[in-house]
Amino acid sequence: MYLKILSLTAVITVMVLGVAEARDQIRIVGSSTVFPFSTTVAEQFGKTTKFKTPIVESTGSGGGMKLFCAGVGQDHPDITNSSRRIKKSEFKKCTKAGIGITEVKIGFDGIVLGNSKKGPNLKLTRKQVFQALAAKVPVDGKIVENPYKKWNEINANLPNTKIEVLGPPPTSGTRDAFVEIAMEGGAKMFPSLKALRKSNKKQFKSVAHAIREDGAFIEAGENDNLIVQKLESNPAAVGIFGFSFLDQNADKMKGAYINGVAPEFENIAGGKYPVSRSLFFYVKQQHVGVIPGIKEFVKEFTSENAWGTEGYLVDKGLIPLPKKARQEMMVGARGMKTLVMK
């Protein structure tokens, strides 16, 4: 009796495993920052067309590229999202695998230094951000271990509170972008480091990209919601997170001015706010026409109804491209223009 049941279940399992069918659903992987936008379009696309709703995985920009460039065929994803531009090494890998890529820039994302409404108003420059967070900073012409413990030690106008910054871990695209734009940008403000950049780029990067590890910067995990919650209970701390989280929590959080510019929608869209990055997705051209619906999905994503200034993605926190850039991008994307990198 038991043996019969056992053998029966084993047979059923084998039968189940044997089934595999051709894919009729778009598969998307990549950045967790683009995830909310990609999923919104996917849902809308599934509702309004005869195609199935695409599957969107949140793997991170790097992880997505790895899957995307692995090859052509229905086991590999059709589209990858990225919160940074494709790297040359990734492009080479893709080309080697015989993949033609269409690049679509979808908009901007601002990275915000924010704190609780109960905390002090912060007006920072990129230089001060670097001074507060770098592992090594120049003091009187020499590069030394970061000596600053309080904000007002950097500049007397800043509040008399301990430097305590919660931010994402190195695996996060937000962290990459923050380091590249805010930290490196701040480091360049020092004449000594600027000179170093010209003479020894590698050494400059090792200084500009190293975040301090003496407790002033706390890695708070990939989850931006968690950072917002921690900031709420600790008004003295400052956090690094995406603009959409500031937008959704405007009653609890405020963003620090960077170089005199507030992290607001118009400022980021207009390119005035310095710490912002572009968001992309990449389409595998070999899959267009093979997996149904890719062209229509790209069309939906690049429609004014989605990524325009009054589109539904703006409600989700996307900061749209300027009108002209949108127009150009739309033509390129719908025509499946091939990305060329030298």
Amino acid identity, position 115: N
In order, the DSSP letters of 314-326 are: HHTT-BPPPHHHH
| φ, ψ of residue 123 in degrees (nearest 5) | -125, 105
Residue whose C-alpha is closest to residue 37's, from 47, 49, 45: 45
Contacting residues for 123 by C-beta, under 8 A, at least 6 apart: 157, 256, 257, 260
Nearest-approach distance from CB 20 to another protein, in angstroms:
6
Q: 258 with 126: CB under 8 angstroms? A: yes
Residue whose C-alpha is closest to residue 168's, from 137, 133, 195: 133
For residues 34 and 317, give the distance between their C-alpha atoms in angstroms, rounded to a whole number.
10
3-state SS, residue 242:
strand
* Angle 294-296-300 from CA coordinates, rounded to 5°: 115
Nearest-approach distance from CB 226 to another protein, in angstroms:
8
Q: 245-274 mask for another protein (x: CB under 8 A)?
A: x-xxxxx-----------------------
- Contact segment (CB under 8 A) with another protein among 45-53, 97-105, 273-281, 300-308 equals 45-53
Nearest-approach distance from CB 112 to another protein, in angstroms:
12
Q: Is 316 in the site for another protein (CB under 8 A)?
A: yes
- Out of 46, 114, 119, 293, which residue is the one contacting another protein (CB under 8 A)? 46
Q: Which is nearer to another protein, 139 or 250 (CB)?
A: 250
What are the Cα distances from residue 257, in Å, to 159, 213, 242, 273, 274? 14, 25, 15, 9, 10
Q: Which is nearer to another protein, 140 or 310 (CB)?
A: 310
- Contact segment (CB under 8 A) with another protein among 102-110, 154-162, 218-226, 290-298 equals 218-226
Q: Is 12 in the site for another protein (CB under 8 A)?
A: yes
For residues 236 and 165, give the distance between their C-alpha atoms in angstroms, rounded to a whole number.
9
- Out of 26, 30, 34, 42, which residue is the one contacting another protein (CB under 8 A)? 42
Residues contacting another protein: total by CB under 8 A? 49
Q: 261 with 123: CB under 8 angstroms? A: no
Nearest-approach distance from CB 7 to another protein, in angstroms:
8
- Contact segment (CB under 8 A) with another protein among 27-35, 119-127, 186-194, 289-297 equals 27-35
Nearest-approach distance from CB 194 to another protein, in angstroms:
37
Q: Is 195 in the site for another protein (CB under 8 A)?
A: no
Q: Which is nearer to another protein, 25 or 161 (CB)?
A: 25
- Out of 98, 157, 202, 310, which residue is the one contacting another protein (CB under 8 A)? 310
Q: Is 55 in the site for another protein (CB under 8 A)?
A: yes
Residue with tokens 């719908």: 334
Q: 63 with 80: CB under 8 angstroms? A: no
For residues 13 and 184, give the distance between their C-alpha atoms in angstroms, rounded to a whole number.
55
Q: Is 227 in the site for another protein (CB under 8 A)?
A: no
Q: Is 58 in the site for another protein (CB under 8 A)?
A: yes
Q: Is 224 in the site for another protein (CB under 8 A)?
A: yes
**Residues binding another protein (CB under 8 A):** 2-3, 6-7, 9-10, 12-13, 16-17, 19-21, 25, 27, 32, 35-36, 38-40, 42-43, 46-47, 52-53, 55-58, 75, 222-225, 242, 244-245, 247-251, 310, 312, 315-317
